[in-house]
Chains A and B, each alone.
Chain A
């Protein structure tokens, strides 16, 4: 039954993709109608009006778009239901589909780990499908066909769901490639812009290199196992060194998809150019599928983890988290900023996974379960709030045609509902108490603070430093999202577009983000619900669950014991309401002293303009100066001179370019190496047919000699 739900989710997303193809088939349907009317003249009279009205060009397009998104939404609902039910049943469901290789039908396994990620995908797809119909209206006027968008969205979702179901290496890779290639077409959707084509190609290239690394990783396991099913791979007797090689390959392959530094460079290129609801899916969900792959590979297939791997993850995750948020801080393009912030969050997740591995390898499975819980919970939270923020960015773009933070401002009065939803997203991602981001970060800190149980002195001093880096990351994230919300929604509008903006009319475009915002708040107040579900995952994966101290009751969160740490968000919420309510009531009781509004204080000079406000680069300037080694900064100030001796400054031009270190340090040397190699190979290509014939001849002689 549960499996039927899971299959239904996959089939519905396929169906939504195929239905989108009908977009260009209106004429076929018209012909079919004529045929039908001729055949059944009596019923034709009855339905003629209905069919005709629906088949006119505009209603047809709208109806079809609605239908495509309804199917996608159903797929999301089924996926979420399947995920929850398998998590609650704690079972493992095994099946196979009669497709694939003759001797290896596609193996399917639906267990708690896949179920949890099914839930993430399901919620995100549901929110996107509520949001989508309103958003894709904007593409009607342009030349971008909805058929392409709908088809590849369906395939992309189906690919992600199939990855989660796969139980053998072949099926896994096929689903993985379906996901990668479908999302390539989505990134390249607005292909008339060369920068978008370049971003899409970069994405495809890195996705394929990553896929190669994953195939090699499976290959290492498979060479020791008999067969390609995960069951066989799990039994593979690996030496430590081969297991480490497989781990490194998996880290490279899955890390490339997840956006770990330094293989993250596709992320800030590809996410901004895709349509917003697709960026939401890619950033919120696809990165999580990569995470799923990594957890499945390391914790499930490899089995015995080593603490050195944990250290690698910890260091890499810390670098990734700090680097991600520092780069995000410097961006002025909203979606690029959000993409870099995904790098940060993935870094946090990998860091906590590293802690989990360290504790696992040192024989503290209950602490490993705590780490895994924090990592999975943060993955869930990140899927919610990043999805929310990307959908919000889509609304802003839809209403103002602007994504440059420096050109926005003052939207809180023009778009009150959107601003409220976006504020909730910003508060969650800045990990403020009462919201979900805080709970996972709190759990991460609790994991790191258990370091006293370890014997290794290096680890005992490394982990608190990583925890302090996590604190720095959280504080920088808060600064970054103060900048984002403050510059976009507060202050005065910095451009005509943002001055003219108004609230989005389509209710669905608000309903999708509203669903996510509610979930952000609910999981922040009642984290126990999600933790209960994740406990089943760690039970299956590590054989250990978290003993949430039940003496305190379900309102409390006490991951280790009530003596060590506890947190009760509902009581905190009550306290906050009390404190806020009392002060509000006390100070507002006298109606005579209501607010008086007056002009902003302008130091007596008059004429405050929107250009006098702080801009994005001004806000981030102290950070740019303090952490100046993190970026490659090119700052140029040009002055236009005029007047008698050319001494008066007429205008000042300020230019700021901030670049990622990974391009000149890592990718350009690789590019140069490839070019050099190509030139070397080019030497033997003379373009002369006789030389080529002699090559063939010599090869033939050598072959014959080898064979004989």
Chain B
């Protein structure tokens, strides 16, 4: 039963990810006085891509063709770990939050290798920049997560979220810092403005798009879907760690329904925030990103120190 719910939840995760991307696009369009595409447009794009015959470069090796499947699977595995509508899932015990970061690293490793596989300058540029940004983002992310795991004294996400839920609404300074840090890291890792612009294909600025420039058809669909899933994962992490209220603690239909509604509401709100931020901010230069991420790290560190100094039991 538990396992079934876990599988269902993961499927829900995978199924809802394009909707979130569509919602963000919708909000952005309205904020920028443009006519918005339908909320379901990302689904149509994905279906269209899977129907097309993929064109692969003559220089491509097996790694280029297999990489989308690996990237997608690793991201789906990361999604199994994160509680979406219910806590106390068995999948959260098979892999904890550090393993989740490991899954992201796994996907990124193959994405970067696929970028280098064709042997064009764009691919190399994208890979190099992606690895740079992610290696700066990872310590900041773990710093923020360590604050949570030390408060809950577990790295199991389900248990940590239940811990926060049972403590009730306490204003913890460490959580405020960690929340800000995780938001900044999420923006950098999912390639949103001001770090990267998912809508651009300008040579000098693109990061994520540069790596996947050679992909088409179902391969591109998988990679796009994986990045939408990653965006949703960060959203759910932020929403459910710092504001877990509403998540189902038992597996009754009613509780699960409330959980679903709660997470949809939270994500919709976060998406509006993101859209507003993307509308207000301009993309920054590549070599400003390190300052952005070291600020995130600093916030994470402050969170950790305030946990140790102010909140720890002794």
Contact = CB atoms under 8 A, between A and B. Distances in A.
Given A449-B155, A568-B93, A576-B74, A482 B57 contact: no
Given A475-B137, A475-B138, A593-B218, 13 more contacts: A460-B308, A461-B304, A464-B143, A465-B301, A486-B113, A563-B159, A564-B155, A567-B94, A579-B77, A580-B70, A600-B58, A619-B124, A626-B290
B117 A587 contact: no
Interface string A72-88: 00000000000000000
Given A451-B150, A468-B297, A600 B116 contact: no
Interface string A402-435: 0000000110110000000000000100111110
A474 B104 CA distance: 13
Interface residues of A, number: 82
A195 to B, nearest CB: 30
Contacts of A684: none
B57 A464 contact: no
A402 to B, nearest CB: 17
A625 B287 contact: yes
B213 interface: yes
Contact of A597 (B56, B113, B143): B56
Give the residue among B69, B98, B221, B290 with the most A Cβ atoms within 10 A.
Answer: B98
Contact of B95 (A449, A475, A492, A567): A567
A571 B159 CA distance: 19
B53 interface: yes
A698 interface: no
Contact of A566 (B62, B93, B115, B135): B93
A626 B146 contact: no
A452 B150 contact: yes
Contacts of B52: 593
A332 interface: no
B273 to A, nearest CB: 26
A430 B98 contact: no
B132 A580 contact: no
Nearest to A430: B109
B286 interface: yes
Contact of B94 (A452, A478, A575): A575
A98 interface: no
Contacts of A478: 105, 108-109, 131, 135
A286 to B, nearest CB: 29
Interface in A594-639: 594-602, 608, 610, 612-614, 618-623, 625-626
A584 B57 CA distance: 20
A485 B116 CA distance: 9
A479 interface: yes
Contacts of A491: 59, 116-119, 124
Given A431-B102, A482-B112, A568-B95, A614 B146 contact: no
A483 B52 CA distance: 32
Contacts of A618: 124, 128
Given A486-B113, A579-B72, A595-B54, A613 B124 contact: yes
A438 interface: yes
B222 interface: yes
B156 A563 contact: yes
Interface string B50-85: 111111111111110100011011101100100000
Given A442-B98, A568-B95, A622 B286 contact: yes
A583 interface: yes
Given A576-B73, A576-B74, A614-B128, A472 B61 contact: no
Give the residue among B50, B61, B102, B290 with the most A Cβ atoms within 10 A.
Answer: B102
Given A430-B109, A433-B103, A465-B301, A596 B56 contact: yes
B131 A479 contact: yes
Nearest to B142: A471
Secondary structure at the A interface, as helix, strand, loop or mixed, is: helix
B238 interface: no
B1 interface: no
A610 B51 CA distance: 33
Contacts, number: 261
A460 B304 CA distance: 10
Contacts of A467: 142, 146
Interface in B120-162: 120-121, 123-125, 127-129, 131-132, 134-143, 146, 149-150, 153-156, 159
B196 interface: no
A442 B137 CA distance: 18
B102 A438 contact: yes
Given A430-B109, A431-B102, A598-B58, A614 B94 contact: no
B63 A412 contact: yes
A57 interface: no
A157 B76 CA distance: 46
A593 B53 contact: yes
Contacts of A409: 119
B209 interface: no
Given A468-B297, A596-B54, A612-B121, A575 B77 contact: yes
A467 B143 CA distance: 8
Give the residue among B94, B117, B150 with the most A Cβ atoms within 10 A.
Answer: B94
Given A486-B112, A618-B124, A621-B128, A474 B50 contact: no
A447 B54 CA distance: 46
Given A457-B309, A600-B214, A482 B116 contact: yes
A250 interface: no
Interface string A441-456: 0100110010110010
Give the residue among B70, B91, B116, B146 with the most A Cβ atoms within 10 A.
Answer: B116
B99 interface: yes
B119 A610 contact: yes
B61 A566 contact: no
B35 interface: no
B51 to A, nearest CB: 8
A478 B53 CA distance: 33
A337 to B, nearest CB: 15
A471 B139 contact: yes
Contact of A474 (B56, B138, B290): B138
B224 interface: no
Give the residue among B74, B120, B312 with the most A Cβ atoms within 10 A.
Answer: B120
B257 interface: no
Given A452-B150, A580-B69, A601-B213, A475 B135 contact: yes
A703 B70 CA distance: 81
Contacts of A565: 96, 98, 154-156
Contacts of B51: 593
A452 B151 CA distance: 9
